[in-house]
Every structure is written in structure tokens, then in C-alpha cells.
Amino acid sequence: LGSKIKPFDCDITRKSGDVQRIQIHIDAERSEAGEVVTLHGICQDITEQILLERKFLQAQKMESVGRLTGGIAHDFNNLLMVMVGNLQLLEQMVDEDEKALKRIHAVIEAANKGSELTKRMLAFSRQQTLEDEEIQVDDLIGSMKEMLTRAIGGAIELEVIAGEGLWPVATDRTQLETAILNLAINARDAMVDGGSLTIETSNSLLDTTYCRQYEDLSPGAYVMISVTDTGHGMPAEIIDKVVQPFFTTKPPEAGSGLGLSMIYGFVQQSGGHLKITSQEGKGTTIKIYLPKFGKNAGENAEKAENADKAPATAAADVVTTEEPASIE
């Protein structure tokens, strides 16, 4: 009876389905005899505070993992260079021994595969070299359609929905192609019994309300590339883990666990944003946001602040709210 009431939290679900975290402070007013006369309560909405804290901790974790991954990748790549160099010298010394040459070639091939893994690790840590150029995303996806159709197989229906008047972006063409292909293959693996894969593009304005939930994301105009499958989906508790290096939901030897981490690093290094939403049994949507490129790019933040001030060149979706189960 004489102890102080500690603040406590509770969740409130609104009619819209949004869940708010409320912190309740209760203070007791007592009589001279020490009896409780009145209770005074204060309710404080701490939903945004909790969200910001979680995103900050996630960003710190990803930054730490990125530094560690980048350091390991550099050291490992240096070792591989020494190995390949000595193997090439050894190859010249035994050029008449076919059995020895066969074994040397096998080791060189394995070392080259290891080098490819280090490149993916460097992509995650945002330490790779990008060759940026102006790209029309719809043209790039259109040129990939035949390759994507072959990659996903005949049991999966591919639909490409091109955005109207899509803005150009400045990014590495090869890395973007690799990212889209990786997402398509991941979607194929999630639809073992067939299904549909939809790749959609649009212009998007990310406003301050949305961007402050993420570290290093500025309000402005972006081109969105969405890859949606009708596969088995992912549970909410692993979505924050799927972009970490070597994390995979696939069976052993079915993947390196570096595909999504490479995409994450490439998008971050390009000044963009990666968003993942998924629901078990209903599929997964992965959205890549890349900054608009052009002379009007400096007006991006102002345009994103007002939904009625859409760019004159094309329509754009205004993204203001947070969707569940996502990662920056």
C-alpha cells in the first residue's frame, strides 16, 4: 500500500488496426494518515519512441556487422590473390602433367568462386566499387524479361507492371540487374508448387514522417521497384535477419545466404532503401527505392512534404506510413 506505483506500458488497438504503445504513470494522493484518497494518471503515447529506438538499434547492429564483414572480406580476398598467383606459377611449371594441371585448375576455379563470395560480402558492407550511370528502370527490366522468364520456370507466371513516366535513376546497371534477378530466383524458390511473380515500378515520394523511422534515409523522390511473389512467405520474427550475411531460410547447400545481404548493401550504397513485407502462406513483397536522378532532384524533399505537389513530369505515390514487418 505504501509503495510507489511504477510506470507500465500497454498496447491499444485502434479501429484502423494500428497498435499504439501507451505508457501509464499513476501517482497516489494520500491523506495525513497515509490512506490513498485520489489517483492521478497520465497516459503518454510512446509508439514512435519505441519504433525509433528499435530502428536505431537495428541500424547500429547492421553497421557493426557490415564493418566486420568488410574486414573479413578484404583479408580473405588478399589470401585468395596469393593462392591464385602461386597456382598460376605452378601451372607453368607442370604444363606437361595433365593430372596435375587438372587439379590446379580445380583449385583455381574454387578460389575464383571464393572471390565472388568476397565481392558479395563487400557489397553488403557498402565497400564495393559502383559504376553509376543514368538508367531508365523500365527499359532495364524490359531487357531482362526473357532471362527472368527462363530463370523462374514455366510453372510461375511473370507479370511486369511499368510505371507511367518513370523517373531516371543513377546507379550501377550490373548490380541492379543482379539484384532483380536474385529477387526473382528467391521468389521462385518460395513457390515450389508454382504461382505468380509480379515486378512493378512507380515513382514514389518518401516524406519526413516515413523517413524518420529509418537511419540515413532522406525525404524525397525515389523510383520504386517492387517484386511480389505468392509463395510461402516468412514469419515476422526472421524478417529483420534475412539481410544479414549467411542467414538463409533455404536448406543446407541450397544457397550462400548472401543474396539479400548483397542487395541490401548495394541499395544502401546507392542512397536508396530496401523494404521487406511478408506474411506466412500469402507471399512476400520486396521493394527497392532508388533516388530520382536529374536536375530537379534537389527539390525532392519539398515535393515529398505535400501530396498535392506532385512533380510535373509524372505521377507519384506518396509514402507516409510504416507497414508491418519491414527493414530499412
The predicted structure's pLDDT at residue 326 = 39
The predicted structure's pLDDT at residue 91 = 81
Handedness of CA 204, 208, 210, 211 (dihedral sign): positive
The predicted structure's pLDDT at residue 74 = 65
Contacts of 41-50 with C-beta under 8 Å, sequence gap 24+, read 45/20, 45/21, 46/9, 46/21, 46/22, 47/19, 47/20, 47/21, 50/21
The predicted structure's pLDDT at residue 327 = 37
The predicted structure's pLDDT at residue 307 = 44
Contacts of 181-185 with C-beta under 8 Å, sequence gap 24+, read 181/144, 181/147, 181/148, 181/151, 182/259, 182/260, 182/262, 182/263, 183/227, 183/263, 183/286, 184/148, 184/151, 184/152, 184/227, 185/151, 185/152, 185/259
Please indicate, yes or no, whether the overall pTM of this predicted structure exceeds 0.75: no
- Rounded to whole angstroms, how far apart are CA atoms 238 and 245? 13
The predicted structure's pLDDT at residue 315 = 59
The predicted structure's pLDDT at residue 104 = 84
- What is the full per-residue pLDDT of the chain (328 aa) written as tens digits? 456 778 888 888 877 777 788 888 888 887 887 777 888 888 888 877 777 676 666 666 666 666 666 666 666 767 777 777 888 888 888 877 888 888 888 888 887 777 666 666 665 555 556 778 899 999 999 999 998 998 898 899 999 999 989 999 999 888 898 889 889 988 998 898 899 999 999 999 998 888 877 767 889 999 999 999 999 888 887 877 777 765 566 555 555 455 687 788 888 888 899 999 998 888 999 999 999 987 655 455 555 555 434 443 445 666 665 443 333 4
The predicted structure's pLDDT at residue 208 = 86
The predicted structure's pLDDT at residue 160 = 95
